[in-house]
Structure 1
Amino acid sequence: MSQELIQAVMVLTKQKGFAPEVIFESLEAALLQAYRKEPTSNPDAYVVIDRETGDYKVMAKKQVVETVELPETEISLLEARKIDKRFEIGDVVEVDVTPANFGRSAAHTAKQMLIQRLKEAERSVVYEEYYSREGDIITGVITRVEGKNVFINLGKTEAILPPTEQIATETYREGDRIKCYIVEVKKTTKGPQIMISRTHPGLLKRLFELEVPEIYEGVVELKSVAREPGMRSKIAVYSRDENVDPVGACVGPKGQRVQHIVDELHDEKIDIVKWDEDPAIYIANSLSPAKVVSVDVSEEEKSSYVVVPDYQLSLAIGKAGQNARLAAKLTNWKIDIKSETQAAEEPFTGFGNAEDGE
């Protein structure tokens, strides 16, 4: 079994990517479990495998006594001194207790146990790898579509993209490469369960971090994201360096950076606005591409009253209220939008009745 053992360890090392020591330790534990099924097994025994030759021994500590009453845990002085003449009564001796018929039956039992242990170890390795990537983007290949669920091969495991995390306007085809956001990784008896998404705002955030060096380097900060997946999104950015334009950095030369992200999200429109610590300025920016005449704000109520030119009202509100809705999500402020004519006919009197602009 010795050379076969070494070969098996090498094969597993290459195929599964485990360190040889992990496999040897698992095999020692499996052999020990097989040994403990022996009727005269020593409860304190342990297994040692020679990493070079593959030879293994079951070793146990026995106490040196005058008269042996418990052969599983005791050894006579005469036998102990055959190992080393210096042993005395009361000393503890490490003895080879490998059963004579241990080889074939132990190998079979150990093989089954090793397979189980390696499966568990593999699941644990995969879990740790993907758990450490929660909140990150991962690229996979669509292997199949069953019902409304999309199964994606991530390399070492498979993830399911459920209908609730799919973009309604996208079509998912077998063989397509796709980027997804890892929402959560759970440990189960069948291996790691990886929750992925195409709709999560974090996907857009991470795409910008990957595409824009200034964000990755920390010069430009992505402050907020508001998204209606597959339709339109808004992001608010801020520059820590007054010489760096945060919006320009995200747009990129000839619009290439943002275009790469739009392409990845299959033509989802993206508005990039400049964040400002002054809420009035920030709210005005968030309504881009509409131009704003004035903004009144109530810090206490987190409400704002915005006036826009008459010809900009429909643009500011957006189709089905989308632009105003995304601006409210982006800023986390209530936004009440009025045209200049409406503002003149109904002058602003305070924030008691301001509503979400949609």
Structure 2
Amino acid sequence: MNALLVTSTDAGIGKTAIALALAAEARDRDREVGYMKPTGTRLRSATGKTRDEDPMLARELLDLDAEMHELEPVVYSPTFVREVMRGREDPGEVRSRVVDSFETLAAETDLMVVEGSDGLATGSVIDLTDVDLAEAIDAGVLLVAGYDEVGDVDEVLAAAEQLGERLAGVVFNRVADAAIDELTEDVVPFLEGRGVPVFGLVPRDEELAGVPVADLAESLGAEVVSGDATLDARVERFTVGAMGSDSALGQFRRTRNAVMIAGGDRADVQAAALEAPGVEALLLTGGFRPPESVLGRARDEGVPVLLVQSDTRTTVDRVEGVLHSGRTRTERTVERARELLAESVDVDRLLSPAE
């Protein structure tokens, strides 16, 4: 049996889709594949229990019989962290629970894909970071990294140093077209010269980018007040309407694939946002319903209008969290990730330890 731990330099880079895509690919190569996410961090409450959604998707996608408490032995919620700090959770017991679950799940497999946390610091309070976990379960590590500027190389090198000999290599994910040449010509040769293997560069893909407006509305508990406007558009960023309408319009026109956040009583800013082609949705705060003139224009433009009760600052924080972590991971998104990996990553070399 081989174990591959998939971790990342930060949250929201696409680690889950890559982990599940690799697991599905290995399964279709006639391997007995298992999966677990030891510390659940992408939490959602349902039927009275707080669980990470990723193991739920993995169980369905990979046809796993394991129970949720085995796939996700630790619910790494703020409440859990507080209990650790108050001495009510024993790190040694938690580590044993994780290792026991891993061994149970791995017993009938020849490849275990283990999804790590949102970064190499997560789990420090229980002495079970992804570095610790890799040692505990004797796993090789795939590091998923983003790349926006040359300074990001520092993060990759720092992570590689922490992981040491456990590091199998790096995959750069969601790479913009403008960055591919620099990565190919400068960054990858530099990293490999420093002993850090790079398996490939996955380009940014529109189908996987951002969060559907429908998911954003669900995450925020927002009311949709714009009639039949579609919620299928995806938003990747937000812009805040906190100035006069003339200045705001210039700001809105410089953005794309954005949700505009403003007070529900700022009809002038709302109207300006509806003139900007890069604004995909309006998110209005404070519980103020916009005037019919704004709603009518939004219907004409096909721009959804969402309404929340919270104030603008709170709403911005919540939206930032949703956009950073992402919400939609489905069988289709995993299949698309698998297609992208096949086109741009040396999957044979990456999965070769399991052969």
Q: TM-score, normalised by structure 1?
A: 0.21
Greater RCO structure (CA 8 Å; 6+ sep) = 2
| Greater helix content | 2
* Rg larger for: 1
Larger strand share, 1 or 2 = 1
